[in-house]
Structure 1
Amino acid sequence: MFKRVFGKAKQEPNALPTIHKLNDTLEMLEKKEKVLVKKAAAEVEKAKQFTQARNRTAAIKCLKRKRLYEQQIEQLGNFQLRIHDQMIMLEGANATTETVDALRSGTSVMKAMNKATKIDDLEKTMDEINDQTESMKQIQEALSAPIGAAADFDEDELEAELEELEGAELEEELFQPATTAPAAAVHVNAPVGRQPTQPAPQRNNREEDELAALQAEMAL
C-alpha cells in the first residue's frame, strides 16, 4: 500500500535469511561435536583395553587419536561461539532496521495526512459545523414557540387569575366549621376496670351564633 502511495520503497537489507543460514550451520557443528565426543570416549576405552593387555604402543596411539578428536572438538566450540556472536549482532541489527523502517513509514503517513488536511480546510469545516448548529437551534426555537390561540394568552392575566383562586381556597379553609371534637385525654394511672368519667362537651351557643351571622354576611 505504501509503495502505491509514496512510490517504490527503497530495498532494505534483510538479515533473516543470513540468521537462518547461521542457525543451520550451528546445528551442523553441534552434531559433529557430538560425534567427535563419542569417538574420543571410544579411544579412551580402547586405550584401557590395550593397557590391560600390556600393549602400550596401541594404547598410546589410542590416546593420540583422542587428543586429535579433542582438538577438533575445541575448534568446533570456537566456531559455535563465533556463530552465536554473529547471530546476536544480526538479530539486534535486524530489530533496529525494522524499528527505523516502521518509524519512517509512520512519518511518511503523517506527512501525507498533514498535506491532505490543510488548516484552511479545517477552519472551513469548523465554520460549517457552527453554522449548522446555530440553524438547528433556530429551528428548535421556532418549533417550541406557541401558535394559534395559545400565543394570545397574557401571562400576567393568568397569574392574577391563579392568585384569585388561591385566595378563595384559603378563605374556604378558614371559615369551614370544625366537624370533629378533640379526643379526650386518657388517664394512665386509672385503675383497671374503672374508666374515668369524662364531662360531656358543652357548646358555646353564643360563638356559634356569631359564626353563623358572619357566614350569612359573607354570603350577601
Structure 2
Amino acid sequence: MKLFFSKKATPTPKEAIITLRENLAMLEKREAHLQSRIDNELRTARANVTKNKKAAIAALKRKQQLEAQMDKISGSRMTLEAQAMAIEGANVNLETMKAMQKGAEAMKGIHANLSIDKVDQTLDDIRDQMDLSNEVADAISRPEVFGVGIDDDELNAELELLEQEELDNQLLRAEKAPEFLPNAPTEALGGRVAAQLRPGQYQPQQPQHQHQQPQLRQTTNKTESEDELDELSKAMQIAS
C-alpha cells in the first residue's frame, strides 16, 4: 500500500515551468480550433439569414456555445501564464538567495583568520618597515659617510658668488657694445708716399707708439681703399 500512496517527489521549478508551458501550448491550439469553428458558424448564419432562419439560428447557438468554451480556455490560459511567471520569479529569488548564501559563507571563511587587530598590526609593521627603509636610504646617501662634509650654506654662498660674477660679465659686455675699428695701415702707405716725393719735401710722420690701443671711432661707409686714397690726397696737398 505504501507503494501506491507514497508521497511524490517535489518537482523542481524547471520541471514545473516546463509542464505549464506545455499546457499553455495545448490551450493555444484549442483556442485556434474553436476560433475556426466560430468563424464557420458565423458564415453559416449569414448564408441562411434570409433563406433558412432556423438554420441561421442553430448556427448562432453553436457559435455562442463555442465562444463560451473559448472564454473558459482563455481564463485557464491566463491562470497558467500567471502561475508560470510566479514560479519563474520565485526561482530567480531562490537562485539569488543561494548565491547570497554562498557569498556569505565565503566571507565567513575569509574573515575566520582575519580580525581588526591583525589588520592594525599588519599596518603598523608596514609603517615601521617603511620608516626603516627611509632611514637606511638617508644614511647611505649622506656624503659624510665617505669623509666629505658638505655645508649647504657654503654651497649657496658660492652659488650666489658665481651668479654675481656672471652678472658683472654681462654688464661689461654690454658696456663694450660700440664697435672698435683699427687705424688704417700707415707703413705701406708711407713707403709709397715717400717714393713719390722729391728729396727735401715734407713726409708724414709715422706713428710714435706701435702698441698704442686702437682709438674708438664711429663706423662709416668708407672702405679701407677709400681711407688710403684720403691719406694719399692729404699727403700730396702738404707736399705741394
What's the TM-score, normalizing by structure 2?
0.54
Q: CA deviation at 1:86?
A: 1.6
Q: CA deviation at 1:169?
A: 8.8
Q: Residue 26 of structure 1 aligns with which residue?
A: 24
Q: CA deviation at 1:134?
A: 1.9
Q: Residue 77 of structure 1 aligns with which residue?
A: 74
Q: CA deviation at 1:58?
A: 3.7
- Distance in 2 of aligned mates of 1:139 and 1:28: 83
In 2 relative to 1, CA 32–125 (structure 1 residues): closer, same or farther, beyond 3 Å? same
Q: CA deviation at 1:141?
A: 0.7
- Distance in 1 of aligned mates of 2:55 and 2:108: 79
Q: CA deviation at 1:152?
A: 4.1
Does residue 137 (structure 1) correspond to residue 131 (structure 2)? The answer is: no
Q: Residue 123 of structure 1 aligns with which residue?
A: 120
Q: Secondary structure at the match of 1:116?
A: coil
Q: CA deviation at 1:164?
A: 7.9
**In the TM superposition, what are the counterparts of 1:54-133 in structure 2 within 5 Å?**
54=52, 56-133=53-130
**In the TM superposition, what are the counterparts of 1:175-186 in structure 2 within 5 Å?**
none
Which runs of 5 or more residues in structure 2 are unaligned? 1-9, 179-240
**Fraction of identical pairs, as percent:** 33
Q: Residue 44 of structure 1 aligns with which residue?
A: 42
- Distance in 1 of aligned mates of 2:42 and 2:154: 124
Quick one: higher RCO (CA 8 Å, sep 6+), 1 or 2?
Answer: 1
Q: CA deviation at 1:133?
A: 0.7
- Distance in 2 of aligned mates of 1:78 and 1:172: 107
Q: Secondary structure at the match of 1:117?
A: coil
- Distance in 2 of aligned mates of 1:169 and 1:128: 52
Greater alpha carbon shift after TM alignment, 87-96 vs 107-116: 87-96
Please list the CA deviations of residues 42-101 of structure 1 after superposition, one character each: whole Å capped at 9, or x if unmatched.
Answer: 1222233344443x4444433332222112111111111211222232233233323333
Which runs of 5 or more residues in structure 1 are unaligned? 1-11, 182-220
Which structure: larger Rg?
2
When the two structures are aligned, how many residues end up with a matched partner? 168
Q: Residue 189 of structure 2 aligns with which residue?
A: none
Assess if the C-alpha contact under 8 Å between 1:14 and 1:94 holds in 2: no
